[in-house]
């Protein structure tokens, strides 16, 4: 439980805008993904009669195929497309019902297992009551990202949301950040970006929005050096709440 920064002065003043990444920043992605994949694997293996290993192998292949086909785009993360392609690779031609069923199983289990990190909601409430503009810049498809927000009860917590699907390309490219900048309009004061990924969230927002960057650290998160090193690294959102309260006190 700590908050580390080489430039403490960055936290002296309250920001006017705070942007967040969603996956693996507001909740731990890996356990939810693992649970979703396990349930889908079990269902697929029962329905199709394939071995676990074959499922994993064909799923990886399908994912690769979709990404090559679609490139750096939100739809390239579509589980529906992955499962659709995987079923084809399993030699079953196109099976829309099966692909949809697997996709729904994945997301249902994923959401059922995903848990918001402690203090996220409280921090967002405090930011909004302090008049700070809040935004979400996230990859993946809009449909599922909105479902996640509603599931977590965060759909009222952000002033602006940008998904890579609507921006046309993923972070760290300029498009999602530029679109967020357009939505925000003219702002004065510091802009914070909170994320988990050194390349997409930290380096991306620093380059395109001149953001003060804050990285959420937990199991599986890589803390990097150089341009991918965040200005602030923190373990708990509670740490950030305290830093924000302190920034408010010194600003006052």
Helix (H, G, I), strand (E, B) or coil at 4: strand
Of 128 and 147, which has the nearer Cβ to other proteins? Answer: 147
Buried b (16+ CB within 10 A) or exposed e, 76-87: bbbbbbbbbbbb
CA 177 – CA 79 distance, rounded (Å): 24
Binding segment for other proteins among 66-74, 100-108, 168-176, 195-203 (CB under 8 A)? 100-108
> Does 150 interact with other proteins (rule: CB under 8 A)?
yes
Among 218, 222, 227, 245, binds other proteins (CB under 8 A): 218
CA 85 – CA 132 distance, rounded (Å): 43
Binding segment for other proteins among 79-87, 131-139, 142-150, 169-177 (CB under 8 A)? 142-150
Report 17-56 residues binding other proteins (CB under 8 A): 31
Binding segment for other proteins among 55-63, 141-149, 166-174, 199-207 (CB under 8 A)? 141-149
Report 225-244 residues binding other proteins (CB under 8 A): 235
Tokens of 158: 């952000």
Answer for the pair 197, 21: CB distance below 8 angstroms, yes or no: yes
CA 190 – CA 210 distance, rounded (Å): 9
Among 71, 96, 112, 189, binds other proteins (CB under 8 A): 112
Answer for the pair 25, 236: CB distance below 8 angstroms, yes or no: no
Q: Please, what is the minimum distance in Å from the beta carbon of residue 57 to other proteins?
A: 26
How many secondary structure helices (H) and strands (E) does the chain include?
Answer: 10, 7
> Does 219 interact with other proteins (rule: CB under 8 A)?
yes
> Does 248 interact with other proteins (rule: CB under 8 A)?
no
> Does 97 interact with other proteins (rule: CB under 8 A)?
no
Answer for the pair 109, 35: CB distance below 8 angstroms, yes or no: yes
Of 158 and 177, which has the nearer Cβ to other proteins? Answer: 158
Answer for the pair 179, 156: CB distance below 8 angstroms, yes or no: no
Residues that bind other proteins (CB under 8 A): 1-2, 31, 104-105, 108, 111-112, 118, 146-147, 149-151, 155, 218-219, 235
């Amino acid at each position: 439980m700590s908050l580390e920064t080489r430039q403490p002065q960055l936290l002296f003043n309250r920001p006017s805008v705070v942007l967040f990444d969603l996956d693996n920043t507001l909740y731990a992605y890996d356990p939810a993904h693992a649970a979703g994949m396990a349930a889908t694997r079990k269902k697929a293996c029962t329905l199709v009669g394939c071995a676990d290993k074959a499922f994993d192998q064909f799923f990886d292949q399908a994912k690769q195929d979709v990404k090559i086909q679609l490139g750096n785009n939100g739809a390239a993360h579509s589980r529906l497309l992955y499962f659709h392609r995987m079923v084809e690779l399993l030699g079953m031609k196109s099976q829309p019902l099966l692909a949809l069923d697997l996709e729904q199983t994945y997301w249902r289990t994923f959401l059922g297992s995903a848990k918001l990190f402690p203090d996220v909601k409280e921090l967002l409430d405090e930011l909004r009551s302090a008049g700070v503009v809040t935004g979400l810049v996230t990859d993946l498809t809009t449909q599922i990202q909105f479902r996640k927000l509603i599931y977590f009860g965060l759909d009222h917590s952000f002033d602006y949301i940008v998904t890579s699907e609507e921006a046309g390309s993923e972070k760290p490219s300029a498009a999602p950040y530029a679109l967020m900048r357009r939505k925000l309009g003219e702002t004065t004061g510091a802009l914070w970006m909170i994320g988990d990924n050194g390349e997409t969230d930290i380096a991306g927002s620093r380059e395109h929005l001149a953001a003060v960057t804050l990285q959420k650290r937990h199991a599986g998160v890589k803390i990097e050096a150089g341009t991918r090193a965040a200005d602030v690294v923190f373990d708990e959102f509670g740490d950030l709440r305290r830093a924000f309260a302190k920034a408010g006190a010194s600003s006052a």
